[in-house]
């Protein structure tokens, strides 16, 4: 569309046909790739967006990803891991969907609140503006206000990030009521920015019923028809499947979606997700996007040497194998601890050792349904991850005791750190009723108490101690050596409770070492034991900063110790 016309319309508050454009915004300077999904949820849009971003980075393009969620929550902080997987915390304290973790790992970026939004956030902004009278008596509507605010977020990200391409992942599937606002916003973006500045990609799933032994594309066809019914014509279709699909399937998809056959691709399951960027390059997915955006002659690829090197390093041959147990209470799905699993994968690559994960349900140990000796049998190291609430904590405490007494390498994360303190207080310091304020109110025995600044907090969402904080590390400790003898590091936190300061002296006298703490507050952040192969607890989530080819030091230390322990 004519840029002057759009600007004039944006300035007419009485009409408000279009959203206001951020200051300095120029149509065409930043282009957009919008990614939607159809047929089923969990299709892998986050991994696709991340891997695609990597191929675009290889073209020396600056990429800015954003996830537009479908749920009404303001953020992901109050969601159960069973319902939506892990809550990933950004350095600025934003609690997000786990797809932001994929973006950070693939693209090696530190993202912010600008890279994540929900309808809850958007509606909250609209209501605040309405209460202040900023709409000059106008009724607030789905169009143009909800869609206008959504488009503004995308353009604002383009301005702030100075990106060449903004990757927009729309949560949910085509046909959901929850993401209709995002779909309509996408339609308007294509209209306003011009088709040469926006590429619409749809990931669809090709089912392969086991009792038939062949692919069926009808569900995918119906999903694409629904997308087009919303006024969205995909430029490019990616057929997700377990196995490579036939050419006939691609032809059917092409015909039913008005998309040229050369722009219908198939991404099937691979052994290593870090193969995907080069896999996309070989198929020509990023090249097709460049053509759609009229950039094919500007941003060429001089071979794929750097991408191949990155892929080869992430697919290094594994010579040995160790088993790391993860003892938690959300073990029904690996998505609840996905960043931990990825951090172990990074260590696996760095140490050329296959790291197997054994899931240990601490509720079963707590109730006596399973014996701890049997559950921890065969593990070479143990992780007790974060969590909330009372269920399964006695099982976690029992696991911490077992690995401490049997010299099995151990890493306690957040709640795992706190349970290690409780176990040590009970069984080494003689505080038999030691516990945490999260379980019971017992000031005389609770070695874990609520942070002082958290005492007056009433709500749950966004009220924890969140985000990146500096950690002062004690010299000549295991933590100090793990972090390359640095006196200070930065990691990400998500907690409300802390080691009770009145017990610190006693715990230290009994042999517990607090090797990391907050620089200005008496908040213990790393613990360790001296006479143990590897016994480390961190109040922070070290997995959030682990990257392919650059594993987090505490995870690397755990796996190294597990390898030695197995020998």
* pLDDT of 17 higher than 70: no
Backbone angles phi, psi at 66, to 5 degrees: -145, 135
Q: Are 207 and 218 contacting, i.e. CB atoms less than 8 angstroms apart?
A: no
Both 357 and 265 in one domain: the answer is no
Range of the domain at 328: 320-566
Both 214 and 351 in one domain: the answer is no
Q: Which of 145, 346, 532, 541 is catalytic?
A: 541
Count of the separate structural domains present in the chain: 2
* pLDDT of 42 higher than 90: no
Both 305 and 411 in one domain: the answer is no
* Residue recorded with tokens 């009770």: 500
Both 367 and 291 in one domain: the answer is no
Domain termination site, one of 292, 312, 332: 312
Note the pLDDT of residue 13. Answer: 47
510 is catalytic: no
Both 261 and 366 in one domain: the answer is no
> Rounded to two decimals, what is the model's pTM?
0.92
Cβ neighbors of 412 (< 8 A, separation 6 or more) are 383, 384, 400, 418, 419, 420, 527, 536, 537, 538
Q: Are 105 and 54 contacting, i.e. CB atoms less than 8 angstroms apart?
A: no
Q: What's the average model confidence in pLDDT over 428-439?
A: 93
399 is catalytic: no
Both 202 and 344 in one domain: the answer is no
Q: Which of 149, 193, 345, 543 is catalytic?
A: 543
Say which range, 237-241, 247-251, 327-331, 518-522, has the weakest mean pLDDT: 327-331
Q: Which of 347, 414, 429, 449 is catalytic?
A: 414
Domain termination site, one of 312, 344, 361: 312
Both 147 and 271 in one domain: the answer is yes
Both 505 and 462 in one domain: the answer is yes
Domain with residue 265: its CATH number is 3.40.50.300
Both 349 and 279 in one domain: the answer is no
Domain termination site, one of 282, 312, 342: 312
Both 307 and 408 in one domain: the answer is no
Q: What's the average model confidence in pLDDT over 302-316?
A: 88
Note the pLDDT of residue 446. Answer: 93
Both 307 and 341 in one domain: the answer is no
Domain with residue 374: its CATH number is 3.40.50.880
84 is catalytic: no
176's tokens: 């959901």
> Greater confidence, 447 or 214?
447
Note the pLDDT of residue 280. Answer: 95
Q: Give the other-Cβ count within 10 Å of 43's Cβ.
A: 18
Both 304 and 335 in one domain: the answer is no
């Amino acid at each position: 569309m004519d840029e002057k016309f759009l600007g004039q319309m944006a300035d007419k508050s009485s009409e408000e046909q279009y959203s206001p454009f951020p200051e300095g915004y120029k149509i065409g300077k930043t282009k957009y790739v919008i990614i939607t999904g159809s047929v089923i949820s969990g299709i892998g849009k986050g991994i696709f967006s991340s891997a695609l971003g990597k191929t675009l980075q290889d073209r020396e393009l600056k990429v800015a990803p954003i996830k537009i969620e479908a749920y009404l929550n303001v953020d992901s902080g109050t969601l159960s891991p069973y319902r939506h997987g892990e809550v990933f915390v950004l350095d600025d304290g934003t609690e997000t969907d786990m797809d932001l973790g994929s973006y950070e790992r693939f693209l090696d970026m530190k993202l912010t609140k600008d890279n994540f939004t929900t309808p809850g956030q958007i509606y909250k902004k609209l209501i605040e503006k309405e209460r202040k009278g900023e709409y000059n008596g106008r009724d607030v509507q789905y169009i143009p206000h909800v869609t206008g605010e959504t488009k503004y977020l995308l353009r604002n990200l383009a301005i702030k990030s100075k990106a060449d391409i903004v990757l927009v992942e729309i949560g949910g599937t085509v046909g959901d009521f929850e993401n209709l606002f995002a779909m309509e916003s996408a339609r308007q973006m294509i209209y306003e920015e011009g088709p040469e500045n926006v590429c619409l990609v749809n990931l669809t799933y090709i089912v392969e019923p086991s009792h038939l032994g062949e692919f069926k594309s009808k569900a995918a066809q119906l999903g694409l028809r629904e997308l087009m019914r919303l006024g969205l014509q995909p430029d490019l279709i990616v057929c997700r499947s377990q196995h490579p699909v036939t050419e006939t399937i691609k032809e059917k998809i092409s015909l039913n979606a008005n998309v040229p056959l050369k722009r219908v691709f198939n991404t099937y399951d691979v052994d290593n997700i870090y193969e995907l960027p080069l896999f996309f390059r070989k198929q020509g997915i990023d090249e097709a996007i460049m053509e759609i955006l009229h950039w094919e002659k500007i941003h060429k690829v001089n071979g794929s040497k750097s991408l191949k090197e990155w892929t080869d390093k992430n697919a290094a041959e594994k010579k040995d194998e160790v088993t790391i147990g993860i003892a938690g209470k959300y073990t029904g799905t690996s998505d609840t601890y996905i960043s931990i699993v990825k951090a172990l994968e990074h260590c696996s690559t760095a140490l050329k050792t296959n790291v197997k994960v054994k899931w240990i349900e601490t509720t079963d140990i707590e109730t006596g349904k399973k014996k701890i000796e049997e559950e921890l049998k065969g593990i070479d190291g143990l992780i007790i991850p974060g969590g909330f609430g009372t269920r399964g904590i006695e099982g976690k405490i029992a696991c911490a005791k077992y690995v401490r007494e049997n010299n099995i390498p151990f890493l306690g994360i957040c709640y795992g750190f706190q349970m290690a303190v409780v176990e040590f207080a009970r069984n080494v310091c003689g505080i038999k009723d030691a516990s945490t304020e999260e379980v019971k109110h017992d000031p005389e025995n609770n070695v874990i108490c609520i942070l002082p600044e958290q005492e007056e907090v009433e709500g749950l969402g966004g009220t924890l101690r969140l985000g990146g904080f500096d950690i002062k590390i004690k010299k000549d400790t295991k933590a100090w050596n793990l972090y390359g003898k640095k006196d200070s590091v930065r990691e990400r936190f998500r907690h409300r409770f802390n080691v009770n300061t009145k017990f610190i002296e006693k715990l230290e006298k009994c042999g517990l070492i607090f090797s990391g703490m907050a620089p200005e507050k008496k908040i213990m952040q790393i613990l360790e034991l001296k006479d143990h192969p590897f016994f480390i607890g961190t109040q922070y989530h070290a997995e959030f900063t682990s990257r392919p080819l650059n594993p987090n030091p505490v995870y690397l230390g755990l796996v190294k110790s597990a390898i030695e322990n197995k020998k």
